Amino acid sequence: MSTFPPYHRAADFARLVADHPIGTEFEAFARDTSRDELIARQDRLFRRCVARAWETGFYRRLWGAEGLEPGDIRGIEDLPRLPVFDKSDLMESIETHPPLGDFGGFDPTDPNRPPVVFHTTSGTTGRPQTLLFGPKSREAQSLILARAYRWQGMAADDVVHSCYGHGTVNGGHYVREAVLHWTNALFVSAGTGLETPSTRQVGLMRDFGATVLVGFGDYLKRLGEVAAAEGLMPGRDIHIRMISGHMTSGDKATLSHLWDGADCYDWYGVGDTGIVAAEGPDRDGLYLMEDAHVLELLDVDSSAAVAPGELGDMVCTCLFKDDIYPILRFNTHDVSRERTDKSAAGYGLRRIAGFLGRSDNMVKIKGINVFPHAIGPLLAGIPEFLGEFVCTVTPDGAMTVAAEVRSGDTALAHRMQSHLKAALGIEVGIELVAAGATANLTEVERRQKPIRLIDERLAAGQR
């Protein structure tokens, strides 16, 4: 007879809310908690995660290879002693211990094992990776995302239209659980443009009275264009007041314009970790959810800690994953920088600038590191730029940016080219194209994360 605990008992909601406040309790936490109090909280949660990690074959192997033994890591101050790992290590674990790997820390054949939530990554950069959650860590992820939504203004009477993908991928399911379990808003799971065509999506938004839009900024812009083409006017036919998703400052300006002045908020996370940071009511940088994560910014080449304000790989330690698949020093290979100025709103949490590119998608042009995803934010201040672009690197190492603009001429191309040269330190070509002209290359209608780089050197066997 099986003796495993039911999902909701295993989630331990009382402990969950005590460790990770939400609503007005989180607002007070973000304003009033001292650094010493925060570090003490992190230390308590971190030790639980380390103890659990030693019970997994993955960490015994990873840490043992560095000569570490149980008891060597005594607290949060020892975090830098742990080796960094990334997706390649997880995929190796899956290859060696198919089909789930040994990083989850459970025996899938044991009928008395705890409940496990199974999803995968999208697989856009190769074979999908398994994503595993226990009830407690799953609900913690959902709570922390819902915390950000509520902080940004989502309320119980909202109708939330979601454009996150479903299927085996984590995104749409995770967002739905956050809204359903922790906000009481009505959730419409429209999914991507492949799951529900864009023309149908804008019709659903009108018919069900959508007030909040969530998803990736690129596709949300596309929906705004489709609404206009269908004769549906934001503010008259569709009443979106808040948009929360993954976007740049330029995306936010464009989206707000498309959706009748809606308030736009950015947040950052990956499938393994869930939400890591989010904009608050002040919309001035992304605040780290420091009761749930320790985020380090490490040099892309040396893995040493970068100075405050410098670009670095985001390396995440989850302080709530002490049940299934502990995460300690996971290199996302997403790049950001820490904000060094103080929060004008009086919040004590650290801030980052948001997602600025991927180091594993970084290209060297004439010896300079270039992050293709950062091109959009760099061009965002140019009024004619529509926000859509794609970079092409030719076999001889030259880069051209095809940028969608309202209208343009040689003078605009020169202005954009000069702007990028000043920011990047190298010369890149600019090709001005009409709205929608890059869609086939970026696959914005079919992918949650559009393609921003076409590196022709790969086809030629170079890099």
- Indicate if the pLDDT at residue 51 is higher than 90: yes
- Residues of the domain holding 454: 362-459
| Cβ neighbours for 16, distance < 8 A, ≥ 6 positions apart | 136, 139, 140, 143, 320
Judge whether 306 lies within some domain: no
Judge whether 388 lies within some domain: yes
Cβ density class 100-129: b for 16+ within 10 Å, e for less: bbbbbbbeeeeeeebbbbebbbbeeeeebb
CATH of the domain at 117: 3.40.50.12780
In this structure, the answer to whether residues 447 and 420 fall within a common structural domain is yes
Judge whether 298 lies within some domain: no
Q: pLDDT for 343-390, tens place per residue? A: 999 999 999 999 888 877 777 777 677 878 778 888 888 889 988 899
In this structure, the answer to whether residues 199 and 231 fall within a common structural domain is yes
Encoded tokens for 323 = 């049940």
Give whole-number Cα distances, 332 to 124, 273, 307, 432, in Å: 15, 9, 19, 33
Give whole-number Cα distances, 378 to 163, 313, 349, 427, in Å: 26, 19, 26, 14
- Indicate if the pLDDT at residue 462 is higher than 70: no
Task: Supply the DSSP symbol for 104.
Answer: S
Averaged over 55-74, what is the pLDDT?
97
**pLDDT level of residue 270 (50, 70, 90 thresholds):** very high
Q: How far apart are alpha carbons 136 and 238 in whole angstroms? A: 37
Poorest-confidence range of 16-25, 330-339, 449-458? 449-458
In this structure, the answer to whether residues 106 and 182 fall within a common structural domain is yes
Say if residues 154 and 137 touch (Cβ distance below 8 Å): no
In this structure, the answer to whether residues 64 and 117 fall within a common structural domain is yes
3-class SS letters over 33-90: CCHHHHHHHHHHHHHHHHHHHCCCHHHHHHHHCCCCCCCCCCCHHHHHHCCCECHHHH
In this structure, the answer to whether residues 349 and 449 fall within a common structural domain is no
CATH of the domain at 445: 3.30.300.30
Judge whether 338 lies within some domain: no
Q: How far apart are alpha carbons 463 and 461 in whole angstroms? A: 7
In this structure, the answer to whether residues 437 and 387 fall within a common structural domain is yes
Q: How far apart are alpha carbons 53 and 408 in whole angstroms? A: 56
pLDDT of residue 280: 97
In this structure, the answer to whether residues 348 and 378 fall within a common structural domain is no
Judge whether 294 lies within some domain: no
Give whole-number Cα distances, 418 to 86, 360, 402, 427, 453, in Å: 36, 26, 15, 8, 20
In this structure, the answer to whether residues 347 and 395 fall within a common structural domain is no
**Residue length, the chain?**
463
Predicted model pTM: 0.84
Q: What is the mean pLDDT of the chain?
A: 91
- Other CB atoms within a 10 A radius of the CB of residue 6 amount to 9
Tell me what percent of the residues of the chain surpass a pLDDT of 90: 70
Judge whether 304 lies within some domain: no
**pLDDT level of residue 463 (50, 70, 90 thresholds):** very low
**N- to C-terminal Cα separation, the chain:** 57
In this structure, the answer to whether residues 115 and 233 fall within a common structural domain is yes
Say if residues 443 and 192 touch (Cβ distance below 8 Å): no
By DSSP bridging, strand 263-270 and strand 453-455 are unpaired
pLDDT of residue 23: 96
Judge whether 292 lies within some domain: no
In this structure, the answer to whether residues 127 and 213 fall within a common structural domain is yes
Say if residues 298 and 318 touch (Cβ distance below 8 Å): no
Cα torsion for 345, 247, 86, 424, to the nearest 10°? -90
Q: pLDDT for 167-223, tens place per residue? A: 898 999 999 999 999 999 999 999 999 899 999 999 999 999 999 999 998 899 889
Cβ density class 201-227: b for 16+ within 10 Å, e for less: bbbebbeeebbbbbbbbbbbbbbbebb
Q: How many separate domains does the chain show?
A: 2
Q: How far apart are alpha carbons 141 and 138 in whole angstroms? A: 5
In this structure, the answer to whether residues 415 and 350 fall within a common structural domain is no
- Of residues 183 and 436, more confidence is placed in 183
| Cβ neighbours for 350, distance < 8 A, ≥ 6 positions apart | 287, 288, 290, 295, 338, 339
pLDDT of residue 125: 54
Q: How far apart are alpha carbons 368 and 362 in whole angstroms? A: 10
Say if residues 287 and 280 touch (Cβ distance below 8 Å): yes
Helix (H, G, I), strand (E, B) or coil at 407: coil
pLDDT of residue 191: 93
Judge whether 3 lies within some domain: yes
In this structure, the answer to whether residues 233 and 141 fall within a common structural domain is yes
